[in-house]
Amino acid sequence: MSPSRASADPLLRASSLDAAVRLQRALHRLRVPADVHDGYGLALVSVWVGLVVWCDCGSFWWRTGWDAARKRPVYAWHPVLEPERAAARIARRYADLRASQTTPGAGAQPCR
């Protein structure tokens, strides 16, 4: 379905937004902060730098890495009917991303 058709259907917009809000609440219960944004028939759950979850009427999907051989991102997905299980998977990805991020100031030389 094209974005212009999806945005014209208020039921699709409400369903994707409802799914995103359910996911946000499940993430919150796992102490993972997230913001919800919607439009064009999709809703987005912004979790961390490089971790945005897209929601449509049937699936959540998010980027999990990079396939160097194919030169393209790798995505994971989960059905919207299981926001708690999706949140657990996303929370693990969130923890991985946070752990891999360099802590500001760790080992850095002071500015002069």
In tens, the pLDDT along 29-61 reads 999 999 999 988 899 999 999 999 999 889 999
- Structure tokens belonging to residue 108: 């850095």
Which residue from 89, 103, 91, 18 is spatially nearest to 48, judged by alpha carbons? Answer: 91
Q: CA 14 to CA 11: how far, in whole Å?
A: 5
Instruction: Show the tokens assigned to 105.
Output: 């100031």
Cross-strand bridge partners of residue 77: 61
Residue 66 identity: W
Q: Is 42 in a helix, a strand, or coil?
A: strand
List of the chain residues with pLDDT < 50: 1-8, 13, 107-112
Q: Tell me the chain's radius of gyration from C-alpha atoms.
A: 16
